[in-house]
Chain A
Amino acid sequence: MYSAQITRANPTCIVLLLDQSGSMSDPFSGDSARKKSDFVAEVVNHTLHDLVIRCTKTEEVRNYYHVSVIGYGRHVGTCFSGPLGARSLVPIAEVADFPLQVKSSYKRVSDGAGGWVEIPVRYPVWIHPASDGKTPMCEALAKVKEILERWLLDHPRGFPPTVLHLTDGESSDGDPNEIGQQIMSLGTDDGAVLLFNCHISTRRSSKIEYPTDDSSLPDGFARSLFQISSRLPANFLAAAAQLGIHAVEGSRGFVFNGDPSSIVQFYEIGTSLTGMTPYRWMDDRTETA
Chain B
Amino acid sequence: MSSVQQSAIWDLQTRQLLLPKLDDEASDCEDVIAIDTQTCRFAVADGATEAFDARNWAERLAQHWVQNESALTAEEFHKWVAAEGRELHDSWKSLSLSWYSEEKARTGSFAAFVGVELDLKTDSPSWKAIALGDACLLHCRRGRLLKSLPLSRSESFNSAPVLVASNSSMHEASMQSVVIDSGSCNGGDVLLLLSDALASWYLERFEKNDLDPDELFETKEDQELKQFLDDERLAGRLRNDDLAVLRIEITQRR
Interface set of A (CB-CB < 8 Å, partner B): 5, 7-9, 49, 52-54, 56-59, 61, 96-97, 99, 102, 109-113, 117, 119, 121-122, 124, 274-277
B23 near A56: Cβ-Cβ < 8 Å: no
Contact B169 A110 (CB under 8 A): yes
* A-B contacts, 12 listed (Cβ < 8 Å): A5-B239, A7-B23, A58-B101, A109-B169, A112-B169, A112-B171, A113-B172, A119-B106, A121-B103, A121-B106, A122-B102, A276-B50
Q: How far is the CA of A117 from the CA of B167 in the complex (A)?
A: 14
Chain B residue total in the interface (Cβ 8 A): 26
Please name the residue on chain B nearest to A96 by beta carbon. B100
**Contact between chains at B50 and A54 (CB < 8 Å):** yes
Is A112 in contact with B103, judged by CB distance below 8 angstroms?
no
Interface string of B126-169 (1 = CB under 8 A from A): 00000000000000000000000000000000011000000011
**Residue in chain B with minimal CB distance to A7:** B23
B169 adjacent to A56 (CB under 8 Å): no
Given contacts A58-B53, A58-B104, contact A96 B21 (CB under 8 A): no
**What residues of chain B lie closer than 8 Å to A110, measured between beta carbons?**
169-170, 172
B169 touching A124, Cβ below 8 Å? no
Asked if A59 and B98 sit within 8 Å, CB to CB, the answer is yes
- Please state if B101 and A112 are interface contacts (CB–CB under 8 Å): no
**What is the bound-complex CA distance between A175 and B4, given in angstroms?**
75
Chain B 63-120 residues near chain A, CB threshold 8 A: 95, 97-104, 106
Known: A58-B101, A59-B101, A122-B99. A275 touches B169 (CB 8 A): no
Q: How many A-B residue pairs have CB under 8 A?
A: 60
Question: What residues on A are CB-neighbors of B10 within 8 Å?
Answer: none
B240 lies within 8 A of chain A by Cβ: yes
Report A117 CB to chain B, min CB distance, Å. Answer: 8
Most-contacted residue by chain B among A54, A59, A111, A274 (CB, 10 A): A59
Q: What residues on A are CB-neighbors of B50 within 8 Å?
A: 54, 276
CB-contact partner of A276 in B97, B159, B168, under 8 A: B159
Q: Are A53 and B100 in contact (CB under 8 A)?
A: yes
Main SS at interface, chain A: mixed
Q: Is the CB of B100 within 8 A of A52?
A: yes
Asked if residues B99 and A124 are in contact (CB atoms below 8 Å), the reply is: yes
Q: How far is the CB of A237 from chain B (nearest CB, A)?
A: 14
Q: Is B42 an interface residue (CB 8 A)?
A: no
A122 to B159, CA, bound (A): 27
- Top 8 A-B residue pairs of the complex, sorted by shortest distance between their CB atoms: A112-B169, A275-B159, A122-B99, A56-B104, A9-B23, A56-B100, A112-B172, A58-B53
Interface residues of B (CB under 8 A from A): 21, 23, 49-50, 52-54, 95, 97-104, 106, 159-160, 168-172, 239-240
> Closest chain A residue to B170 by CB distance?
A112
Query: How far apart sit A80 and B95, CA to CA, in the bound complex (Å)?
Result: 30
Chain A, residue nearest B107 (CB): A53
Could you say which residues of chain A place their CB within 8 Å of the CB of B106? 119, 121
Contact A53 B53 (CB under 8 A): no
B170 to chain A: which residues have CB within 8 Å? 110, 112
CA distance A54 to B168 in the complex (A): 21
Evaluate contact between B169 and A61: CB separation under 8 angstroms: no
CA distance A54 to B54 in the complex (A): 13
Contacts A97-B98, A110-B172 aside, 20 further interface pairs with beta carbons under 8 A come to: A7-B21, A53-B100, A53-B103, A56-B100, A56-B103, A56-B104, A57-B54, A58-B54, A59-B95, A59-B101, A61-B100, A96-B100, A109-B169, A110-B169, A111-B169, A112-B168, A121-B103, A275-B159, A276-B50, A277-B160
Q: How far is it, in angstroms, between the C-alpha of A57 and the C-alpha of B99 when the chains are bound?
A: 13
Interchain CA distance A109-B168 in the complex, whole Å: 12
Which residues from chain A contact B99 at a C-beta distance below 8 Å? 99, 102, 122, 124
A61 neighbours in B (Cβ, 8 Å): 100
Q: How far is the CA of A58 from the CA of B160 in the complex (A)?
A: 20
From residue B33, how far is it (CB to closest CB) to chain A in Å? 21
Across the interface, which residues of A come within 8 angstroms of B101, CB to CB? Answer: 56, 58-59
- Chain A residues contacting B23 (CB-CB under 8 Å) are 7-9
Chain B residues with CB under 8 Å of A96's CB are 98, 100
- Which of chain B's residues have a CB closer than 8 A to the CB of A275? 159
CB distance from A175 to the nearest CB of B (A): 39
Chain A residues, CB < 8 A from B239: 5
A46 to B172, CA, bound (A): 28
Q: How far is the CA of A111 from the CA of B100 in the complex (A)?
A: 22
Give the Cβ gap from A81 to chain B, nearest Cβ, in Å.
18
Contact partner, B103, options A8, A59, A97, A122, Cβ 8 Å: A122
Task: Looking at the assembled complex, report how far the CB atom of A164 sits from the nearest CB atom of chain B, in whole angstroms.
Answer: 21
* A26 vs B172: C-alpha distance when bound (angstroms): 45
Q: Which residues of B contact A112 (CB under 8 A)?
A: 168-172
